[in-house]
Amino acid sequence: MKILKFAMAMLITALVFTLLIVAQDLLLPLVIAIAIWYLINLLASGFMRIHIGRFRIPRFLCFLASILTFIFTISALVQFVGGSLNDLGSVATTYEANLRSLWNRLPFSEYLPIEGFFETLSSRLDLSAIVASVAVSFTSIARDSFLILIYVMFLLFEQGNFNRKLAALIGDPKQEKRMLSILAQIKGDVQKYLSIKMFTSSLTGILSYLLLNALGINFAEIWGLLIFLLNFIPTIGSIIATIFPSLMALAQTNDDFGLFFTVLFGISALQVLIGNILEPRITGKSLNLSPVVILFNLALWGAIWGVPGMFLCVPLLIITTIVMSHFPKTRPIAILLSSDGHVIASED
């Protein structure tokens, strides 16, 4: 009997992941819309806390300000990244020549020829295509923007009726209270994660920009922004965010590797100090997620949904752990997902 139950559980799991992959074009815009809706509500809550004496901003204006702020921020980022990529393309030939010179001076360069690599790179350096590719792979809204917008609008319109729908759906006040408790914990933990990650990623991006600017690295602003964004991807994002500006330092000079190693060690030191020392101290045991599980989760969602899945993997893992911890049959899985085996009692 246990074998049959285990086989059924494996079959259901396989079907769920198959559905996630096959229905990606339908499900991913919905998940992105939910993430945007959540961020809009989070920002609106921040506006609601602003008050001058007894005056508080009306709820409607808070949501309007949140939506406008979100739209303005996304538009500014898209324009900034597009302009920076065009500027980068204008000096690509110089960087190519410097990399050639550096490579040819290496003692093993004759055994690892790269002739043809730079020609291929140059022939494919279509900046408009790069901008479009980044927009599609990074946010998935270039193709699905209208659908995501519709989802967000309906979520905003329907959120006022959510509690009433939940009460009508469950019908049991005790179970309703339990479900609201689960949702409240999910909201609190995701908000805590996003707040801490926003702070540490912003700090890493700003300090990296100041370091790169002080060292005279070209396009320090775009690398600072890239470091900020990539820090939302666990582990792998920090590695990529360190390599990119280091390669830029190597490309803009043909003298030696001194600037390359200075940037490499400088950015790495910031990543370690903030990501491995400061962030765990701020987070404490509140999220309590296993680092090994986070890495596996990153690989899993990256394989399912690509770059958007990498950004969503930690919030999805938080939600999964919390939900499973509240039900006796799935509680062992929540314990395995946790860092130290401590999860909330299913009766809470």
pLDDT at 269: 92
| Model confidence, pTM | 0.74
Residue 286: pLDDT over 70? no
Per-residue model confidence as pLDDT tens digits over 204-236: 999 999 999 998 888 888 888 888 988 888 878
Domain boundaries, the chain: 1-171
Confidence of residue 110 (pLDDT cuts 50, 70, 90): low
pLDDT at 204: 92
pLDDT at 196: 85
pLDDT at 126: 42
Residue 122: pLDDT over 50? no
Span 33-59, average pLDDT: 83
Higher pLDDT, 30 or 252: 30
pLDDT at 330: 79
Residue 123: pLDDT over 50? no
Per-residue model confidence as pLDDT tens digits over 176-207: 788 888 888 888 888 888 888 888 999 999 99
Residue 143: pLDDT over 70? no
Report how far apart, in Å, the C-alpha atoms of 27 and of each of 23, 31, 40 are.
6, 6, 20
